[in-house]
Each structure stands twice: as structure tokens, then as C-alpha cells.
Amino acid sequence: MSERSEMWIEFARLELPQSVKRKLLSHFSEPAEILAAKTSVLESITESRWPHCKSLRQLVDWKGVQVDRLWASRPTRRIIGLSDEAYPPLLREIPDPPVVLYAQGDCSLMLSRGLAIVGSRNPTPIGRETAMNIAKVLAAEGHVIVSGLAAGIDAAAHMGALESYGSTIAVCASGLDIVYPRQHFGLAQRISETGLLLSEYPPGTGVRRHHFPYRNRLISGMTLGTLVVEATRKSGSLITARHAADQGREVFAVPGSVYSPLSKGPHQLIKEGASLVASIADIQEELPVFGSLSVPTPTQRTTDRSRDTLLDAIDYIPTSVDQIIVRSGLTAAKVCSMLIGMEIAGKIRNCEGRYLRNLES
């Protein structure tokens, strides 16, 4: 481990508020300079008195430093400081970036373009499939899918990326030695092998209720856009989406049935200005950076033609999704995402998982 990494570990374990640490980092380029600075200099920078502290090292949690050193001794693990080149550039732009990040896996993914996909912990089958398919398609095009390792939509997004042999980042609300929820231990292991596990919390930190909304700012802050798939009005996913809006990033929402509580969150976001997503093309049109160089972004005419083709594949009697896919010749990902948009537009109706065409359409 390099001397610089050692200094970041000590700085991370300083028992000072994050806001104070950020203020100190804005005046010094390296943590070693802060740790070596005189108390009088630090007092002038932070505009506060430290009468019982002759040196910052008196405020270091040395037991915690030992834990971090042991954790970081593995080759796939890193502790990354705010001024490091490996620190995610988009995350550095948010108002309150973490002073230190704990990373396990492929750290280069933090420098890649990505999309956050979040939503309900208890989604419907079609919501889970929509999240998985969108993640699968975008990850296959080379984009990093970012989510929070939670049950439901988060897990579906991670698994969709993994199934396409793409990349995904899981931003955790605990130390990386503690997997939450426990049933996602296997999923976390897969992500650490081909993607990245990330946290602002040091090893040994358990899950706390307040960690989740605070963690959500990192999910949105690492990407240019956040997509919400199924969420109630009180869902933490809406916190992530509003963080994204406050950070100047794009917000996307997949609409759903007007009768479903899980549609109320996305519909509220759409009212607030989020982009309605009826197909993956809607994401690519809003954020051209997500368009693959090898797969051209569809024009509006192509999108309209796809919707006409899909509508022709739906009867005036309930039709299964599998039948619609076969009849239309469209991909499962495109069909699943477009069905929801057509339902909210009043073109079709959902009847116990089957779709039928409205008489006027």
C-alpha cells in the first residue's frame, strides 16, 4: 500500500464532520498536509477553536485505521480520496461528495458513462422485467448500470447488466464487508468480480435507516441520468430522482397503470418534469451520450412505426405479452417498455397481465 493511500485511510478515520473535512481539502491538496498542519492554521481555515487538540492525529480512530488497512490489503480493494484521479468526476461535482470512497472491483467503471436505475423493493413482474431489460440493452451497448443492491428493481437492474455481460456498480448503504440485504450476498459477489461495489462507509459499518436516503445522492451523482421504474409516492427512489434533479442530471420515469400504487411515484415525477420513458429510444433521445456508436439512435419516424406495429399485434380481446412479442417481431425489452407507455396514453388496457386494444385506437 502506498504512503498516500495510508494518509487517506488516516484522514478517513478522522473523527470530524464530513463538511469540515471537505473544507480542509479545499485548502490543502493532500491529506498528509492536513494531518501535519498546525492547529492554529486549521482553526483559521475552519473558523473554529480546537483547544484540546495539538495535532489532528489525536482525533484519528486508530482502531478503525487498522480495520481499513486490513480490508484494503486485498488486490481488488481500494480507498479513494476526493482529490484522487480515480475518484468519479461526476460525483465530485455534487454539493456534498464523500471525502473518501471504499471500492471493491473494477474501479475504472467510475470513470465511465452510466445510468442509474432504481425503483420499488416490491415490484410487479412486468416492472421487474422492464428494469432488467432496459439494463440489459444499455449494458450490452457498453453503458454502466448503477443501482443500490436493494431487493426488487435495484436487483433486477444489476442482474440485467450482468446477464448481458455488461458492467454494473452497486452503491451500498453499509461497509462493503456487510452485504445488505443478506440474500444478495451471491449477487454482490458477482458484481465485485465483474463490476464494482462502492460505499462511503468504512468496513464494519452496519446498516442504518438514515444511510439509505443519504446513499441515494451517490447513485444519482455518479451518472448523467436516473430512471425510476415503479415506486410509490413515499419511495426512496423518488429521493434519488430529486437528488438527480438538484444535481442538474436527467430524470426518467416509466409510467404504469393509473390503478397501481406503484405508478404514483413515476407519474408524480413526470408531472414535475421527468422524461416519460415508453421505450429505450426515449432515454437515448434525451441523453445522446447513451447512444451506441455501433447502434444508431432510432429516429422519431422509426419509433412511431414500432408503436403502430405493436398496436397491430394487440387484439380487442386479452392478448398475452408472449403473443404480442411473436406477432410484432419486436424485442421483449422494447415490447415491455412500450406497453406501459401505450397504456398510460389510453391506447390499450391491462387485464390481469394480458393486454387488449381500446375500441377507439
Residue 269 and residue 228 in contact, taking contact as beta carbons nearer than 8 Å: yes
> Coil, strand, or helix at residue 240?
helix
Q: What is the mean pLDDT of residues 327-333?
A: 83
Whole-angstrom distance, CA of residue 131 vs CA of residue 123: 10
Answer yes or no: is pLDDT of 54 > 80: no
Distance CA 111, CA 287 (A): 17
Cell (9 digits) for 165: 455481460
Contact present, 327 and 320 (Cβ < 8 Å): no
- Are 146 and 171 in contact by the 8 Å Cβ rule? The answer is yes
Percent of the chain with pLDDT over 90: 58
Q: Of 9-13, 37-41, 288-292, which gets the smallest average pLDDT?
A: 288-292
Give me the pLDDT at residue 344, please: 64
Q: How far is CA 44 from CA 10, 52, 58, 87, in A?
A: 22, 16, 19, 28
User: Grid coordinates in use for 178?
Assistant: 456487510
pLDDT of residue 291: 43
* Phi and psi at residue 78, to the nearest 5°: -140, 150
- Indicate the residue type of 327: R
SS (H, E, C) 60-124: ECHHHHHHHHHHHCCCCEEEEECCCCCCCHHHHCCCCCCCEEEEEECHHHHHCCEEEEEECCCCC
Task: Determine contact, residues 184/153, Cβ cutoff 8 Å.
Answer: no
Would the pLDDT of 297 be above 80? no
pLDDT score recorded for residue 336: 78
pLDDT above 80: residue 22:
yes
pLDDT for res 135: 94
Q: Per-residue pLDDT for 231 more than 50? A: yes
pLDDT at 217: 97
Q: Mean pLDDT score of the chain, rounded to an integer?
A: 87
Class of domain 300-357: mainly alpha
Instruction: Mention every residue, 6+ apart, whose C-beta is less than 8 A from residue 36.
Output: none
The cell for 256 is 404504469
Over residues 163-174, the pLDDT tens digits come to 999 999 999 999
Interatomic CA distance for residues 230 and 208, integer angstroms: 24
pLDDT at 292 > cutoff 80: no
If residue 275 lies in a helix (H) or strand (E), which one and from where to where? strand 275-276
Residue count (the chain): 361
Q: What's the rounded mean pLDDT across residues 82-87?
A: 91
Mean pLDDT of 344-353: 77
What's the confidence (pLDDT) of residue 288?
A: 57
In this predicted model, what pLDDT tens digit does every residue of 132-141 receive, in sequence order?
A: 999 998 998 8
Q: Are strands 100-105 and 77-81 parallel, antiparallel or unpaired?
A: antiparallel
State how far the Cα of 127 lies from the Cα of 109, in Å rounded to an integer: 26
Closest CA to 135 of 162, 108, 110: 162
pTM: 0.78
298 upstream amide cis, omega within 30 of 0: no
At 348, phi and psi to the nearest 5? -135, 170
Task: Give residue 40's identity as a one-letter amino acid code.
Answer: S
pLDDT of 358 above 90: no
Residue 86 has pLDDT above 50, yes or no: yes
DSSP-assigned beta bridge partners for residue 102:
79, 199
Q: Per the structure block, which three cell numbers stand in for 63? A: 482502531
Domain with CATH 1.10.10.10 in the chain: 300-357
* CATH 3.40.50.450 domain extents, the chain: 108-290
Collapsing DSSP to helix, strand or coil, 262 comes out as helix
Q: Return the pLDDT at 161.
A: 96
Question: Which DSSP letter does residue 147 get?
Answer: E
Q: Rounded to whole angstroms, how far apart are CA atoms 336 and 352?
A: 15
Q: What crossing angle do the helices spanning 125-140 and 153-163 adopt, rounded to 10°?
A: 40
DSSP state of 151: T
Instruction: Indicate the CATH number of 108-290 among 3.40.50.2300, 3.10.270.10, 3.40.50.1000, 3.40.50.450.
Output: 3.40.50.450
Q: Between 177 and 20, where is the model more confident? A: 177
- Please name which of 136, 68, 58, 74 lies closest in space to residue 102, comparing C-alpha atoms: 68
Q: What is the mean pLDDT of residues 188-201?
A: 97
Give residue-wise pLDDT tens across range 39-49: 778 878 877 76
Please report the pLDDT score of residue 220 as a whole number: 97
Beta-bridge partner residues of 14: 60
Q: Is residue 129 scored above 50 in pLDDT?
A: yes
pLDDT, position 299:
36
Report the candidate in 144, 164, 146, 156 with the shortest Cα–Cα distance to residue 120.
Answer: 156
